[in-house]
Each structure stands twice: as structure tokens, then as C-alpha cells.
Amino acid sequence: MRRIAGIVLAVLLIGGVVTAVVAGREGQDTSTATKTVRGVIGSEKSDFFADPAVVKALAAKGYTVRTETSGSWAMEGLDLEGYDFAFPSSQAPADALAAKYHVQKPLPRPFYSPLVVVAHRNAAEVLAANGLAGLDRHRGTLHTARYLDAAAHDRTWQQLKGAQRHGELTGTLYIASTDPETSNSGALYLAAASYVAGGGRVAASKADIERTAPLMHKLISVQGAQQPSSDAAFRDFVSGVGNPLVLVYESQVAALLTDGQGLDDLTVLYPDTTVNSDHTVVPLTPAGRDLGDLLSTDPTLRRLAVRHGFRPQGDTAEFTAATASHTSYLNQKLTGVRQAPVPTSAVLHEMARRARGQGENT
């Protein structure tokens, strides 16, 4: 009898809750009703979509956005049936998804972020003393060709002038990156490195891949286990764990600074040849396209994107104004930074596969 009574009570309680929710919906102003839109996003945008101010701004435009995270290059292998959009972190995986799902172009590209290398001050100063970087206060320039030459010759920190004064600088010199087979930043690292190693030529054929495969394999294999996402890699760096040089998005650094946080010995190195990460929406439904367009054009959402460190497409003034007090860390105008073209999705997938040791001559 007690069990039966408990079940009845539970049913009554559930009925009461449902009634209350329905009544609340019937009594609310329909102008604030929202349409739920589901999407798969790169992890570096999780904080943006979770921000209460972003949630509020989207609701004001009639949207509730539900997101799940995935590596940008892993999205192509997902079943996206039932989703309204995918939001990888660069155009190449977005183009591949658009082709797979027959999505009409152009694709909305709300914002972007260049790849940078975060370094602890001691490491940055040693690189500078050995001609691998130039420094200006808390930021500088990584000389990509010189760094790749050092990597090709298996240089160690101990071989660099001044490193002996810092006990943490030991072992092979390398930049820690994410898994290039699944993560966007890791894949774009190979895109930029192969472009420089190939003499300023974007890889477009099997021969191009073969030409730089040994070096790409060295860049990845020296790292051992890699983080699955740039978010995890950056959090480890901030907490003082891991390698002294880590490849991340500028947006992660800018967001940290805008939030009033920082590290006393943080140095941001902009590779003289890098790749911009164009965060690109792949609309799978009309609602997904409307959301992508909204993120691109709505002034409030653009301002909030800047607060999370992203550079809105089409106007540098918003980012420049918001980061004016952080120019000792950030290269606002990307002065001295060359943009490397990105290979096609197929070429970059094969390049990543070879870099991970899956193939011949690696």
C-alpha cells in the first residue's frame, strides 16, 4: 500500500509541475518565446555560448541555443541528423561539412582568431637570445622558418644559449599542439608549418605532402600524447602544467586578459607566418542559417564575441577598442604576421595522418 501511495503521490507531483510549466508558458509574453536551435561547436566557443549575457542576447532575438562540443575535424565523421548547425573553427572543415550536407554557400563566418604561441617568460627570452623570436614587452614574434629548422635538427633546450639558467627548460625544443586529426588548431599548425617548409607554397598534391611529411612527423611525434582540444591545452598552460610553449588561439589569451586575469610571466608569440581560424557556421536548417547570420550582424552579439577574445569579421575597430589596454600582450593589427593559405580538407587530412605516423616514409 505504501508503494502504491508513493506512486500516486509522484504522479500528482509530476502533474503539478507540468501544469505549472504549461501555465507559465501560456501566461508569458509571446514576444519572449524562443526557438531551440541545436548545434555542434568547437570547444573554444563553449564559454561564449554558456555566457549568461550571450544566452540573454540570443533569447532577446528569439533563440535558445543548445550545443555539444567536438573537435572541428572530427565533425565530418559525426551523424548530424537532427542538428541545426555545425560550428567548426575554420573554413576547411566547414567546407567539407557543407559539401557532405549539400549546404548552400556562402557560409556565415561571424568571427576569427589567429593562432599564437603562449610562452613562459624564461622560455621566450631564451628563444629571443638564440634568434628564434623577437620580443617586445609581453609579446613578440616567433620566427617560424628558424624554429622549423631547429625542429628539423632535433635541437634541445640545453643546446640553446641561456637555457641552463632555467631548470624547467630541458629536453627537445617543441611547440605543444593538439591532435591534428581531430582538432582544428593542430591541423592549422601543420598547414602553416608545411607552407613555410614548402617555400611559401600551399600543399595541393601527394608530392607536396611527401615533401614535408618527415618534418611534420617530427613536429607531432616529439610531443607524445596530445591534448584533444586547445581549451584543455590552454588551461594546462595557465595552471603551470606541461610544455613551456603551447599553440593556442589568440581569442583564449584575449578573453583571459579582458576578464581581468593574467600571468606574470605570460608572453604571447605571434608566428611570422600563421593561419587565421575562421569560425564558420554550417547551417543544416533555415534556423541554423538565421543563427549564423545573427552572430555575424547583431551588434550585441558581436560585442560579446569580442569580450570572449574573438575578432568579428569585417571591422577591426571593435576588437581594437576592447583590447586597447592589453596591447603589451596583443598584436592588434597583426603587424608583421603573414597569413598562410590552408590546404583543402582532403589534403590536410592526409597531412595529419602522415604526421601521426600513418603512412610511408615517416
Q: Where are the domains of the chain?
A: 34-111+279-325, 113-277+328-355
Among residues 221, 225, 210, which one has the least CA distance to residue 154?
221
In terms of phi and psi (left: phi > 0; alpha: psi -120 to 50; beta: otherwise), the region of 5 is alpha
CB 84 within 8 A of CB 291: yes
pLDDT above 90: percentage of residues in the chain: 78
* φ, ψ (nearest 5 deg) of residue 289: -70, -40
Residue 170 has pLDDT above 70, yes or no: yes
Enumerate residues 6+ apart whose C-beta is below 8 A from 303. Answer: 318, 322
Residue 316 has pLDDT above 70, yes or no: yes
Instruction: Provide the pLDDT confidence category of residue 3 given band limits of 50, 70 and 90.
Output: very low
What is d(CA 118, CA 131) in angstroms, rounded to the nearest whole number?
17
Three-class SS of 164-184: HHCCCCCCECCCECCCCCCCH
Model confidence over 231-272: pLDDT tens digits?
888 989 998 887 999 999 999 999 999 888 767 789 999 999
Instruction: Provide the pLDDT confidence category of residue 360 given band limits of 50, 70 and 90.
Output: low
Enumerate residues 6+ apart whose C-beta is below 8 A from 123. Answer: 166, 169, 244, 245, 267
Instruction: Return the pLDDT at 12.
Output: 35
Amino acid in position 103: V
Instruction: Return the pLDDT at 32.
Output: 55
Instruction: Return the pLDDT at 45.
Output: 94
Model confidence over 269-285: pLDDT tens digits?
999 999 999 999 999 99
Model confidence over 59-109: pLDDT tens digits?
999 999 999 999 898 899 999 999 999 999 999 999 999 999 999 999 999
Question: Domain 34-111+279-325: what homologous superfamily?
Answer: Periplasmic binding protein-like II (3.40.190.10)
Which of 117-121, 209-213, 237-241 shows the lowest per-residue confidence on average (mean pLDDT)? 237-241
What is d(CA 301, CA 293) in angstroms, rounded to the nearest whole number?
11
**CA distances from residue 153 to 16, 127, 166 in whole angstroms, order as listed:** 71, 16, 22
Is 113-277+328-355 a CATH 3.40.1400.10 domain? Answer: no
Check for a shared fold between 34-111+279-325 and 113-277+328-355.
yes
Instruction: Return the pLDDT at 100.
Output: 95
Detail the DSSP E strand segments found in 121-264: 133-136, 139-142, 245-249
Work out the average pLDDT over 17-38: 49
Q: Can you give the pTM of this predicted structure?
A: 0.87
Comparing 358 with 195, the larger pLDDT belongs to 195
Model confidence over 282-302: pLDDT tens digits?
999 999 999 999 999 999 999
Task: Specify the 3-state DSSP secondary structure of 306.
Answer: helix
Instruction: Provide the pLDDT confidence category of residue 53 given band limits of 50, 70 and 90.
Output: very high
Task: Specify the 3-state DSSP secondary structure of 213.
Answer: helix
- Burial label for 269, CB within 10 Å (0-12, 13-18, 19+), is buried
Residue 17 has pLDDT above 90, yes or no: no
Amino acid in position 113: S
Instruction: Return the pLDDT at 97.
Output: 96
Task: Specify the 3-state DSSP secondary structure of 26.
Answer: helix
When the pLDDT of each residue in the chain is averaged and rounded to a whole number, the result is 88
Instruction: Provide the pLDDT confidence category of residue 33 given band limits of 50, 70 and 90.
Output: low
Q: What is the DSSP annotation of 309-330?
A: T-EETT-SHHHHHHTGGGTTT-
Q: Which three cell numbers stand for residue 74?
A: 572530427
